[in-house]
Amino acid sequence: MRTGIYFCNCGSNIAEKISATAVVEAAASFPEQNYVATVDFICSEDGKLQFEESLKAEQPDRVVVAACSPRDHEGTFRRCLSNAGINPYLMQMVNIREQIAWVTEDPAVATQKAIRAIHGAVCRVEKQLPLEKKQLEVCPDALVIGAGPAGMKAALALAEAGRTVTLLERTPFIGGLPVRFEELFPALECAPCMLEPLMGELLHGEHAGRIELMTMSELVEVTGFYGNFIAKIRQKPRHVSLRDCIGCGECVEVCPASATNEFKNNVSLRKAIDFTFAGVLPNAPFLDQATCIRWQGQECRACKDACPMGADVINLEEQETVVERRIGSIILASGSGLYDAAHVAGMGMGTLQDVYDALQFERLLSSTGPTGGQIVTKAGQAPRTVAIIHCVGSLDEAHKPYCSGICCQYAFKFNHLISAKIPEAVITHYHRELVLPGKEAQTLFNHAVRSGKSRLKRYGSIADLAISRDTNGSMLVSSEGEAFPADLVILCPAVIPAEGTDQLSALLDVSLDSSGFFRELHARTDAAQSSIRGVYLAGSCREPMDIQKAIQEGMAAVGHLLSGLQPGRTIDIEPICAEVDETRCSGCHLCVSVCPYRAISFDTEHNASSINAVLCCGCGTCVAACPSGAITGHHFTNEQIMAEMEGVLK
């Protein structure tokens, strides 16, 4: 076996410290058959040509390139090998620039180091084997989980790009959290109006035909892997056809049963068949089996009979179904919720009247809410004093250690909306920190502090605050010895992952961070990807954020998805991956849990682990962990690594 050693001077970068002549001399005494060629800049156009020509002329069995970091140019030189008709995996690079020339003072020592490293590479490369990339057919379609701002934007953008999208939503409506709000920070835009064009396009626009919206649906199982997932989706019966219903509401009028309505803060009632709230999209009611008298044994078909669109719109016999969809990638946009302020002692949440958390207060502000947008206490009075308590359960080791980053902004929005409706109201903000990032957030803050009716009070710990009702029934917020009256208290709790995030994590093997949000592949450079190939993250399921950022994240995930899987194109399967020798696997299962990419599954039929080459990133964790030596890391075999070490040391 003959190895061609290519020594790059890298101008003076390498040549200044490492003597090419000494390397040539030393290589002549290597027991392994070889030749050495010196090139000035092997990565330059001339250098690459010279390299390729030399490879074609010499026809070496193996190639060593002693130059820069493989992170710089391993790909470049592999392509040169391919161009010269040599399998690209028969090359080994030695990083004599960063790891030797740049970090070694004495040229004589540097040269000796380089000779040893090159000898190691020569010994290693002899053990290297030709490897081939494999191709895999893929499905370009996508599943988007969550029809909030991030998910809707992603689904629409994918449909616009010609992809078929299944958009899954757990609730009966789309729009996520903000569609329930009246106005939004920072510019006080009407939330449903702002989202309406997006929702309209999604439901009825030019590309809506490629979006399958499934409301009241949840993911129950995912099998397969990047490019070829099969998702099982459980759809609860809505009993109203989204395709045929025009949203006239005739069925609601005649429905005899009703129950409290959480979208009206459980103050007013909803019918068994009803819209979630006025103006909801899709514009169709849903039937709540828990309220409908048919499910309590009575015979009633009032809604069905009242429907002017025919007998097919309302289906009282509809059953829960589980359907399968084949997709290539998944975008998680399952959103967030609020930490239950009842967990924070002294806040009166759930025990004192006229204490609301931010989501409940948004509904109070909303024209589709329980009071039609009027701010009133339970007693029906306009509040003269309002306390807004920031950082409830945030920045607090006993609850949530992080700052949610959006609460201060909506708190000052509340201030603005309250003072617009009740100009004489005195509003006190109790805060631990004030966080108002970005170029627009200060507007609402400035408005509040300049109004003359607002007070800011900083507290050190939420334990210093107490909300109570005195004997006359007036509410007081006491803090560090002072007490101020508050007819209405609004709590701004920490933003937490939406309910069901845990289950999605378990279904998809996407790990969660210590706060329960989905963990990114890399929090800075790859925040839109999860550690599972083909599963992307968008919006507040990843971290608390505002609508602007959520929508941008939806687009970011779409970018990954579109560039990753393209119709008619296959994906390459990298041959540097791990493989299980079934005949040597004893079935201990140890490797299954160590794989950070969930590429290993257990084949019960053969009682052996099996590695999916599409998902495997070749990290070698399982190779090191396998106690029976049944896993080989291709291109990093024990034999290759030992040969390199021995080559360096001998």
User: Is residue 620 involved in binding other proteins (CB under 8 A)?
Assistant: no
In the complex, the smallest distance separating the C-beta of residue 537 from other proteins, rounded to whole angstroms, is: 17
User: Is residue 223 involved in binding other proteins (CB under 8 A)?
Assistant: no
Q: Which of 593, 603, 606, 650 binds other proteins (CB under 8 A)?
A: 593
User: Is residue 594 involved in binding other proteins (CB under 8 A)?
Assistant: yes
> How many residues are listed for the chain in this entry?
650
Question: Which residues fall within 8 angstroms of residue 482, CB to CB, at 6 or more apart?
Answer: none
Q: Which of 71, 133, 421, 584 binds other proteins (CB under 8 A)?
A: 584
In the complex, the smallest distance separating the C-beta of residue 518 from other proteins, rounded to whole angstroms, is: 14
User: Is residue 43 involved in binding other proteins (CB under 8 A)?
Assistant: no
In the complex, the smallest distance separating the C-beta of residue 631 from other proteins, rounded to whole angstroms, is: 11
Cα angle, residue 338 at apex, residues 336 and 340 outer, rounded to 5°: 140
Nearest CB to other proteins, comparing residues 31 and 627: 627
What is the spatial distance between Cα 75 and Cα 88, in angstroms, rounded to a whole number?
9
In the complex, the smallest distance separating the C-beta of residue 628 from other proteins, rounded to whole angstroms, is: 4
Q: Given the rule CB under 8 A, which of 27-35, 346-354, 425-433, 620-628 is the region that contacts other proteins?
A: 620-628
In the complex, the smallest distance separating the C-beta of residue 566 from other proteins, rounded to whole angstroms, is: 34
Q: Given the rule CB under 8 A, which of 40-48, 49-57, 442-450, 621-629 is the region that contacts other proteins?
A: 621-629
Nearest CB to other proteins, comparing residues 224 and 587: 587
User: Is residue 627 involved in binding other proteins (CB under 8 A)?
Assistant: yes
In the complex, the smallest distance separating the C-beta of residue 617 from other proteins, rounded to whole angstroms, is: 16
- Dihedral sign for Cα atoms in the order 639, 640, 645, 647: positive
CB 476 within 8 A of CB 484: yes
User: Is residue 516 involved in binding other proteins (CB under 8 A)?
Assistant: no
- Dihedral sign for Cα atoms in the order 427, 428, 431, 433: positive
User: Quick one: tokens of 449?
Assistant: 């502090």
CB 577 within 8 A of CB 634: yes
**DSSP type of residue 377:** -
3-state secondary structure 209-236: HHEEEECCEEEEEEEEECCEEEEEEEEC
Q: Given the rule CB under 8 A, which of 105-113, 272-280, 497-505, 591-599 is the region that contacts other proteins?
A: 591-599
Question: Which residues fall within 8 angstroms of residue 515, CB to CB, at 6 or more apart?
Answer: 400, 401, 402, 496, 497
Nearest CB to other proteins, comparing residues 379 and 624: 624
Nearest CB to other proteins, comparing residues 308 and 627: 627
What is the spatial distance between Cα 420 and Cα 373, in angstroms, rounded to a whole number?
12
Measured torsion, CA atoms of residues 269, 274, 278, 280, in degrees rounded to the nearest 10: 130
In the complex, the smallest distance separating the C-beta of residue 627 from other proteins, rounded to whole angstroms, is: 4
CB 268 within 8 A of CB 247: no
Q: Which of 626, 631, 633, 644 binds other proteins (CB under 8 A)?
A: 626
Nearest CB to other proteins, comparing residues 131 and 590: 590
What is the spatial distance between Cα 198 and Cα 213, in angstroms, rounded to a whole number?
14
- The span from the first CA to the last CA of the chain, in angstroms, equals 19
User: Is residue 513 involved in binding other proteins (CB under 8 A)?
Assistant: yes
**Count of residues interacting with other proteins (CB under 8 A):** 20
What is the spatial distance between Cα 629 and Cα 202, in angstroms, rounded to a whole number?
53
Q: Which of 29, 471, 514, 525 binds other proteins (CB under 8 A)?
A: 514
Phi, psi torsion values for 484, nearest 5 degrees: -120, 145
Nearest CB to other proteins, comparing residues 548 and 628: 628
379-401 burial code (b ≥16 CB/10 A, e <16):
eeeebebbbbbbbbbbbbeebbe
In the complex, the smallest distance separating the C-beta of residue 379 from other proteins, rounded to whole angstroms, is: 45
Nearest CB to other proteins, comparing residues 199 and 622: 622
Question: Which residues fall within 8 angstroms of residue 304, CB to CB, at 6 or more apart?
Answer: 251, 311, 314, 316
What is the spatial distance between Cα 295 and Cα 312, in angstroms, rounded to a whole number?
20
Nearest CB to other proteins, comparing residues 206 and 397: 397
In the complex, the smallest distance separating the C-beta of residue 268 from other proteins, rounded to whole angstroms, is: 43
User: Is residue 103 involved in binding other proteins (CB under 8 A)?
Assistant: no
Cα 248 from chain centre: 38
User: Is residue 625 involved in binding other proteins (CB under 8 A)?
Assistant: yes
What is the spatial distance between Cα 553 and Cα 546, in angstroms, rounded to a whole number?
11
The H or E element that residue 23 is part of is helix 20-28
Nearest CB to other proteins, comparing residues 245 and 626: 626
Q: Which of 629, 645, 646, 650 binds other proteins (CB under 8 A)?
A: 629
Q: Which of 58, 230, 586, 606 binds other proteins (CB under 8 A)?
A: 586
**DSSP type of residue 397:** T
Q: Given the rule CB under 8 A, which of 207-215, 306-314, 412-420, 592-600 is the region that contacts other proteins?
A: 592-600
User: Is residue 606 involved in binding other proteins (CB under 8 A)?
Assistant: no
Alpha-carbon distance values, 527 to 337, 515, 619 (Å): 20, 16, 20
Q: Which of 8, 375, 585, 631 binds other proteins (CB under 8 A)?
A: 585
Nearest CB to other proteins, comparing residues 461 and 593: 593
In the complex, the smallest distance separating the C-beta of residue 228 from other proteins, rounded to whole angstroms, is: 23
Nearest CB to other proteins, comparing residues 42 and 599: 599
What is the spatial distance between Cα 577 and Cα 596, in angstroms, rounded to a whole number?
13
What is the spatial distance between Cα 409 and Cα 492, in angstroms, rounded to a whole number?
10
Give the chain's radius of gyration (CA, Å). Answer: 32
- Dihedral sign for Cα atoms in the order 393, 397, 398, 400: positive
User: Is residue 590 involved in binding other proteins (CB under 8 A)?
Assistant: yes
User: Is residue 624 involved in binding other proteins (CB under 8 A)?
Assistant: yes
Q: Which of 589, 645, 646, 650 binds other proteins (CB under 8 A)?
A: 589
Mark residues 396-435: x for contact with other proteins by CB under 8 A, - for none: -----x----------------------------------
In the complex, the smallest distance separating the C-beta of residue 347 from other proteins, rounded to whole angstroms, is: 26
Nearest CB to other proteins, comparing residues 29 and 583: 583
3 state SS of 585: coil
Phi, psi torsion values for 245, nearest 5 degrees: -70, 135
Residues that bind other proteins (CB under 8 A): 401, 513-514, 584-590, 592-594, 621, 624-629
